[in-house]
Amino acid sequence: MTQSSKKEGLQGTVFDIQRYSIHDGPGIRTTVFVKGCPLRCKWCSNPESQNSYPEVLFSKAKCDGCGKCVEVCPLGAIILDGDGIHIDRAKCDRCMKCLDVCYPHAIRCAGERKSVEEVIEEVSKDELFYRNSGGGVTISGGEPLFQPQFTLALLKECKERQLHTALDTCGFANWKEMEGILDYTDLVLFDIKHLDPEMHLMGTGLEMSLSLKTSTGLLKRGKEYG
């Protein structure tokens, strides 16, 4: 861990850390999914990754109706009636006390605050696989540029260990922040959501102009991307 990261104690919200990933860049990789995205794609496969903060998720199929979560909720945000458990999102302050008593794991948390050091510790477990397969680490999301400082710190630490780095992004970011991040990125996996401007706006909630601007910047930089 570099001195700067130790001093700042940087943390980010991580949605998942997926080891032995083979679809997010060359070789065997670990993919770090950070939480938060500016887009609201109608086809999003992980809509729980869109908000930048940890969230309570509920699976009705796993719930046994014991009511323990109702008892521990300090704000009365969880209700048990004839139709089962319901969570009032407007009341919930995400204290996560319900997770501790839900033994069937019907309630779980999507997203966890982690330090750069904690993430790198997990990533480093598979360094041997990266080096033998030509793999490395991919930062994905959500949208990793939604947490630019955290993403930059992660990439810096990976390059300190001479690991191949990839950034999976939709390009909706401040270009100055993007440029700094590219200095520590070997490969950009650029995700253009739709080539038709109207369909892009309809499907994602945002115009595609910023994404195209970022794409142009990548080409000028001569950065490898796919």
Which CATH number do you get for residue 129? 3.20.20.70
The pLDDT of residue 41: 95
Domain assignment present for residue 119? The answer is yes
Q: Tell me which residue of 2, 17, 40, 53 sits closest to 160, measured CA to CA.
A: 2
Written as six digits, the tokens of 9 are 């104690």
Is residue 154 located within the same domain as residue 66? no
Domain assignment present for residue 15? The answer is yes
Domain assignment present for residue 83? The answer is yes
The pLDDT of residue 223: 60
Per-residue pLDDT at 2 exceeds 80: no
Per-residue pLDDT at 105 exceeds 90: yes
Domain assignment present for residue 226? The answer is no
Domain assignment present for residue 67? The answer is yes
Q: What's the pLDDT band for 219 if we cut at 50, 70, 90? A: confident
Q: Tell me which residue of 155, 213, 217, 152 sits closest to 186, measured CA to CA.
A: 155
Is residue 138 located within the same domain as residue 205? yes
Q: What percentage of the chain reaches a pLDDT higher than 70?
A: 94
The pLDDT of residue 121: 96
Contact 48, 57 (CB under 8 A): yes
When divided into structural domains, the chain yields a total of 2
Q: What's the pLDDT band for 7 if we cut at 50, 70, 90? A: very low
Is residue 129 located within the same domain as residue 42? yes
Is residue 123 located within the same domain as residue 172? yes
Domain assignment present for residue 212? The answer is yes
- Cα(187)–Cα(140) distance, rounded to whole angstroms? 12
Domain assignment present for residue 169? The answer is yes
Domain assignment present for residue 154? The answer is yes
Is residue 153 located within the same domain as residue 209? yes
Q: What percentage of the chain reaches a pLDDT higher than 90?
A: 78
| Residue-wise pLDDT tens digits, 156-173 | 999 999 999 999 999 998
Structural domain harbouring 87: 55-110
| Residue-wise pLDDT tens digits, 50-82 | 999 999 999 999 999 999 999 999 999 999 988
Looking up residue 73, the CATH number of its domain turns out to be 3.30.70.20
Per-residue pLDDT at 4 exceeds 60: no
Is residue 189 located within the same domain as residue 102? no
Is residue 134 located within the same domain as residue 35? yes
Written as six digits, the tokens of 131 are 């080096």
Is residue 205 located within the same domain as residue 138? yes
